[in-house]
Every structure is written in C-alpha cells, then in structure tokens.
Amino acid sequence: MEHSLTHRPTSDSSASRWIDRATRRPPPGRPAAGPGRAARRPTMLINGQSALNRKELAERAGVSYPTVGYWFANADRLGFPAQHRRGRSTYVVEEEFMQWLEEWRQRDDWRRKREEPKDLSGSPNELIGPQGVADIFGVHVATINGYVRKSIPAWERGEKGLLPPPDEVEVTGKVIHRRWRRKTITDFKRPGVGRKKGTPQPFPSEAKKKLEITKAILRVAAQDPGRSETPEGLATVLQVSARVAATYLHEVAPDVIKEYQLRPFSDIVAAMTGSTEETRLWQAKQAMRRDDAPQPVFKYNRVRYYRPDELETFLAHLETGGN
C-alpha cells in the first residue's frame, strides 16, 4: 500500500512528525510523539555555549520558578549573569549561571549559620553591640538595627521599645554606637518570643486598664438578672471601636465564665427531649424565643453564656410544661 504522507510541524520544530492521511497514524518505522517518546528539544547555544531558560534554571538550582523570577528582576543588585532574549524566552549561559549560583549560596550562608548554636557565654556586664544582640536573639543583625530605629521614639519618652534603652551611647562624628550590657539583653523578653502561634501580643498599659474595666462590667452583668453585654455596648463605655471591645471581651470572658460558672447554650440543647441532635437544637432555639427566656450574659467564641440560677429556673419551668 502506498502511503500518502504529510509533514505536520508542532510547536517544537525538532519534534516534527509524519502522519498517514488515510489512517491518521504515523507510518511504520516512525515513532509517534507522546509520553513514550523521548524529548528531543535542541540545546540552546549562546556564543557556542549551552544556555538555560527560566524553567531549566529552576530545575538545575533546585528552587521555585518565582525565585528565578526574583533573580531576573534584581539582576543588577545580585550580580546575576547576563540575560539573552531569544524569541519569547530568556536564556542564561549555563556555565556562568552555575558559577554565580555557587557564589550566591556562599553569600546566603548566614541563613543557615544563624540556626547553628552560638557561644553566648560572657560576663553579664560585658557591653555588646547590635551584632552581639543579634547572636543572643538568633536573628540577623539587620533585624536588630530595625528594632533600634523603631524603639528610638519610645526611648525618648522614657519607655521600653522593641529593645531596652542602650546602657552606653557613643557618638563618633555622625555615627552613633549603642551598646547594651549582656544581662540587660538576656533579661529582656523580645516581642513575639514565648508566644504560641495565634496568641495575641501583650496589651500596653492603657489597654490593660480597659481590660480591667471590661472584666468589672462582665462581673456585674453575671450577677444582674436580665443584663446582657455586647461588644457594641462595651465600645461606648470604653470609647473604642466595637472590634477592639470584642477583643477585650474575648480576653477576659474565660475568667468570668469560670468565676461565676456561667452555662453555655449547649446545656439548653442537652436538656431538650428530641430524639436527634438536630431536633434538640431546634427545640432549644424555639424555647429561647419565649418572652420569659433568660438573656445571655455575653457571647464568647460564638456561644451564648447564661446565669446558672436563671437557666435552672427556666429549664425547670419547661419540664413542668409551663406556658
């Protein structure tokens, strides 16, 4: 049988294939393009040297594609090799890239070195600079310099900032050298240290006063029948936004719940007589719509909490079939 062949180029000119017009299949002796066929992309040459595009650079360096994009965008600052545009792709000479990559990894060694244990021994009264503080905290010295810049306004007010005020300040021309005694730094609790992920940062002094006011208000509400507190009501008293008031309420509510043994809405659901959880939940919601239903003291973590004596009286009234 005589084959009528046509040449069909693909997106990769080196991977062109022949198709039989009659059978729509490659003729004998010509493998079809697909997963079983080895890729035959020609090597890009720049001035006779092998070159790699962005995807190939990421594979060779073992980094993500966006990291390569960062290298390209900051080529001048990072000393990245020259880029060569060919069509819609950008290439870098492979040999130049591998040399640069080795230098980059050596420059970036501080990221790994800061995780290694350091010798922090020394006299408590020894004066140390930003680098010594960075070694104690286990961060880069640039972080400590940032702490210093942000702490200067607090130091001028006589307060502690992200770092305690320096024990010694020396001015040499236009350069200011700040030093701390080792004990000053080791006794200082750095912001963010010792807190679990998601734990709010310590409240400043003014906020602590409002926390105490919030707790006092909730304590009164827990003993005053029919009184209910909301973030909006607390916001008016504290002269803050409802969102901030909700934060205060969330902070002190567990202590008030434990102190006055407030009972959650789930206790009402458990007291219902329905055969399924959905039925008991529906019955509890209907019961709390009654005019004689107790008012919640407050809502904490989306759960309403009630005074125990009021709730017991109301549930007993429901059991006797009261209307």
Burial of 178 (0-12, 13-18, 19+ CB in 10 A): buried
Domains and CATH numbers, the chain: 1-30 (no CATH), 44-108 (1.10.1660.10), 112-197 (no CATH), 203-323 (no CATH)
- Identify the helix (H) or strand (E) that includes residue 323: none
What is the pLDDT tens value at each position of the chain, 323 positions in all?
A: 444 444 444 444 444 444 445 555 555 555 544 444 444 455 678 788 888 898 888 888 888 888 888 888 888 888 888 888 888 888 999 889 888 888 877 765 545 544 454 556 778 888 899 888 888 887 778 888 888 888 888 888 887 788 888 899 888 887 888 999 988 888 887 655 444 444 455 455 677 788 888 888 888 888 888 788 888 888 888 888 888 888 888 888 898 888 888 888 888 888 888 888 888 888 888 888 888 888 888 888 888 899 888 888 888 888 776 55
Query: Rounded distance, CA 137 to CA 162, Å?
Result: 12
Query: Rounded distance, CA 91 to CA 86, Å?
Result: 7
Burial of 185 (0-12, 13-18, 19+ CB in 10 A): buried
